[in-house]
Structure 1
Amino acid sequence: MLSKEYIAPDFDKKAYTLDLQKQINTDRKKNPFKYGTLPTGGGNIANLIRLVAWLLKDKDKNKDEEQVRTVVFDELTHLFKNDTFFTEELLIRDLKVPKDQIELFFMYCEAQSINSELLGSDRKFELLDQLVIHSGSFMSRLNGSSED
Structure 2
Amino acid sequence: MKTKTAIVIFSLFCQFCFSQIETRKTLKGQVRNDLVPVENVIVFNVNSQSGTVVNQYGFFTILAKVNDTLVFSSLAFKSKKIVLSDKEFINPPFVVKLDVFTNELAEVLVLAKKELNPIGGNTQKYVDKQYFDDEKSSPKNRTLPPIGGIENGMDFVRIYKGILKTLRKNNPQKVDFYQETSFSELVLKRIDYSFFSNTLKLKDDEIKLFLVFCENDPKSRTLMQPKDEFQLIDFLVTKNKVYKSITALEK
Q: TM-score range by the shorter chain?
A: 0.3 to 0.5
TM-score by length of 2: 0.27
- Which structure shows the bigger proportion of residues in strand conformation? 2
